[in-house]
Copies of this chain bind each other. A is one copy, B any other.
Amino acid sequence: MANGKKIKQIIIKILKRNGLTSKHALICSNALLNAEFVGAHSHGLSRLKMYCDRIQRKVINPKPRIKIKKISQSIFLIDANNSIGFVAADVAIKQAIKSAKKTGIALVGVKNSGHYGLSGFYAEQAVKKNLTVLCFTNAPPAIAPHGAKKILFGTNPICFGTPTSSKVPFILDTSVSLINRGKIRVAAKTGNKIPKGVALDKDGYPTTNAKKALSGIQLPIAGFRGSGLAWMVDILSGVITGSNHGGKVKDPFDDFTGPQNVGHLFFVMKSNLFTKNYNKQIKENIRRIKTLPKLKGVKKILYPGENKYLRYKKNISKKIKVSKIIERDLKILLN
């Protein structure tokens, strides 16, 4: 239990001790803390030891020489030099924002990167500048392609963000898995069960045991459609950027045989590229949907990102709860 400010200092201290510059350590701590505040604990402190382990095992480069290759005024390829994913994605989204503000649209690919946390964290940065954004990243195997009995696709999120003319951005950040792999990891660490129907064990039988699910198969949303969307994300972020793909992205927790070489792809555009009254229209769009008659038991219709924003607002001033396992991790890392 500690407040955000204190936890931030702890994260920075740990990462600097692992060789990161102050600037890079700050970028990482912001991303990790944001995950805690929005309630995505699976993408927060629970991953810090993993990142440090990878640095120690020399499969994350704590002092990356990140290269930005300009292909045109609107197109950039970033070679992250096996940086921690947060740092590469931070460089990429900032480049995409700058370029989209100048030319209307920007496409930024990233190769030789690692797990970058929540896609929504980067989407938000673009939306704060009144831009509309799509983010794609691939991930280590978790989902079996439709028809296969072996996992290969990552949970491969599709993330879309756009301004709403209110303080609360529209951020859809949805994995194509029925359950977030991070949530299964947390359940495995804490000994909790996972919901029914979201995973199979390695022999193909349904399971609610988190450890069995991790060594088994996560199910995609909507069968062949979800499988197709996962495949699309693997191509967009992996094949197109020249990163690992087709099941070759390494699991950051279990596989220290080399860097992950995750790929990311960011597309950013001015929201008012085609119409002057975007803000008025998006407000009207949301109003129409929010005022629809509701199903029994539904108090409010929320747009994607609202719940996360409410959690953030609620948690930002509170102390952060740290499980015993994570507390132990932090002690080890500070020693």
Contacts and interface: CB of A to CB of B under 8 A. Distances in A.
A324 B300 CA distance: 47
Contact of A75 (B105, B109, B111, B174): B105
Contacts of A295: 147-149, 204
Contacts of A206: none
A135 B91 CA distance: 28
Interface string A263-290: 0000101010111001001101100110
A74 to B, nearest CB: 6
Interface string A66-89: 000001101101000000000000
Contacts of A150: 292-293
Given A132-B240, A222-B221, A241-B275, A229 B158 contact: yes
Given A105-B107, A225-B174, A285-B246, A239 B278 contact: yes
A273 B109 contact: yes
Contacts of A231: 170, 172, 289, 303-304
A235 B282 contact: yes
A301 interface: yes
B285 A147 contact: no
A101 interface: no
Contacts of A226: 221-222
A308 to B, nearest CB: 12
Nearest to A304: B228
B71 A242 contact: no
A37 interface: no
Interface of A: 71-72, 74-75, 77, 103-105, 107, 109, 111, 132, 144-150, 152, 158, 160, 162, 170, 172, 174, 178, 204, 221-222, 224-226, 228-229, 231-232, 234-236, 238-242, 245-248, 267, 269, 271, 273-275, 278, 281-282, 284-285, 288-289, 292-295, 298, 300-304
5 A-B pairs with least C-beta separation: A242-B275, A221-B222, A148-B292, A246-B288, A246-B285
18 contacts: A77-B273, A104-B107, A107-B269, A107-B273, A109-B273, A111-B274, A147-B294, A148-B289, A149-B292, A149-B295, A172-B228, A172-B232, A221-B226, A228-B304, A235-B282, A240-B269, A240-B271, A247-B289
